[in-house]
Amino acid sequence: MVQKVFLIGDSKAKFSCPACGKERKMDVSKFSAAQKQVKIKCVCSCKHEFSVVLERRKHVRRKVDLEGLLTFQNDTWPVRIMDISRLGLLISIPEELELATGQKIVVTFKLDDATQSRVEKELIVRSVVGKEIGVQFLSQDHYDKLGPYLLFHFS
């Protein structure tokens, strides 16, 4: 199994051998400009070989399955929120829409918390790949129910 390794600051990562538990910090700054996923093959001093994937995101993404509505130019479509982070969402739509990078939309959805809290957010489209849309919150200040959700539901 490939393990995910998160960056420490901008240039270092801590690797942990799954066989012996030995940890080692390594400079990974040469991978910072890579556009694709970075997978590194590691060999521990105990001779165990393992692979890691560098997770370069600043904020953890959590897979979710939430229903919502997307509003754009006074029209509304059902959407499914597939993952969520402090910065944005990955949403899936049932039909391809003519959305382009940079356009502003509104997404309304219910969280999977105890009270099924309703959240409405303004977002900007960052990527469109078929029926999957990556969107970023216009504000990263989450003073509504999303703030505590992100704080307490991410482990």
pLDDT one-digit tens code per residue, 6-59: 777 768 888 889 999 999 888 888 887 777 888 889 899 999 999 988 876 666
For 49, the token pair is: 């070989």
Residue limits of CATH 2.40.10.220 in the chain = 62-152
Give the pLDDT confidence of 94-104 residue by residue, as tens digits: 888 888 999 99
Cβ(143)–Cβ(137) below 8 Å: no
What is the reported pLDDT for 145? 87
Q: What are phi and psi of 151, to 5 degrees?
A: -70, -40
Please enumerate in sequence order all residues whose Cβ is within 8 A of that of 69, keeping only pairs 6 or more positions apart, or say none. 76, 77, 78, 79, 107, 108, 109
Strand partners, 25: 14
Quote the pTM value: 0.65
Determine the residue type at 60: V
Q: Which fold has domain 62-152?
A: Thrombin, subunit H (2.40.10)
What is the reported pLDDT for 134? 94
